[in-house]
Amino acid sequence: KAGVTQTPRYLIKTRGQQVTLSCSPISGHRSVSWYQQTPGQGLQFLFEYFSETQRNKGNFPGRFSGRQFSNSRSEMNVSTLELGDSALYLCASGRDQETQYFGPGTRLLVL
Amino acid sequence: EDQVTQSPEALRLQEGESSSLNCSYTVSGLRGLFWYRQDPGKGPEFLFTLYSAGEEKEKERLKATLTKKESFLHITAPKPEDSATYLCAVRHHLNYGGATNKLIFGTGTLLAVQP
């Protein structure tokens, strides 16, 4: 069974730009969550989607947004990038209320 | 406030030297405690899920246990390939009773096993 896939794997952007990251969950998984990982803050929850609905949101500014499509694939968008947005962005999928499995992440560098 | 604390922050072992990693938590209504392993530059790899106090899970050289306040990851006779960051995370029920898959993570234990 294929795992969670994330694209792109690496991104370099400049301040003020916007970026869209994509996540394809494991087949059959309708829950998708996004996390930001930095050396200083560790893994921080961004938001989660279940059946195309955002069910929970972390403490991040409105520049961070996401959506989920009918095939459970999800995207997250960051607008007006700041230097502090440089991080590893991780997507996790699972069956509802069960174990979440993580993808390889997208490494974003903001210059 | 919901919190997960892992100790030690870093641990260096000799190959074959057994030890334990600790994860203590304060959450309301635990709905699962999860252990993941993360290698540099990669996503967390799932290891174990524990749901209730007294539960134990084993996989090769790893054994996870759960009490009402903490979890331990025991590593027996570790090998250099066990070197990684081990992350603990919890899921809890929401105050209003809604469902969530949100995980609250600890900061991890960086394990180095020397040959």
pLDDT, tens digit, 9 for 90 and up, residues A21-40: 999 999 999 999 999 999 98
Say yes or no for a CB contact (<8 Å) between A55 and B44: no
Chain A environment of B31 (Cβ under 8 Å):
97
Say yes or no for a CB contact (<8 Å) between B101 and A96: yes
Say yes or no for a CB contact (<8 Å) between B43 and A90: yes
Torsion of CA A87, B37, A25, A16, to 10 degrees: 0
What is the radius of gyration, based on Cα positions, of chain B?
A: 14
Mean pLDDT for A40-66 is 94
Mean pLDDT for A51-59 is 93
The pLDDT value recorded for residue A2 is 84
Residue B95 has pLDDT above 70, yes or no: no
Shortest CA gap B24–chain A (Å): 16
Give the count of beta carbons closer than 10 Å to the beta carbon of residue A82. Answer: 12
Query: Which of A95-99, B5-9, B56-60 is the least confident region?
Result: A95-99
Mean pLDDT for B37-50 is 96
Residue B5 has pLDDT above 70, yes or no: yes
State the pLDDT confidence band at A69, using cuts at 50, 70 and 90. very high
| CB-closest option in B101, B104, B108 to A97 | B101
Shortest CA gap A94–chain B (Å): 9
Q: Is the peptide bond before B44 cis (omega within 30 degrees of 0)?
A: no
DSSP-derived secondary structure for A31-69: EEEEEEEETTTEEEEEEEEETTEEEEE-S--TTEEEEE-
d(CA A32, CA B95): 21
Backbone φ and ψ for B82, nearest 5 degrees, come out as: -85, -5
The pLDDT value recorded for residue B97 is 63
CA nearest B12: which of B93, B114, B91? B114
Say yes or no for a CB contact (<8 Å) between B101 and A100: yes
* Average pLDDT of every residue of chain A: 96
CA B77 from centroid of its chain's CA atoms = 18
Q: Is the peptide bond before A61 cis (omega within 30 degrees of 0)?
A: no
Residue A48 has pLDDT above 90, yes or no: yes
d(CA A60, CA A12): 21
Residue B99 has pLDDT above 90, yes or no: no
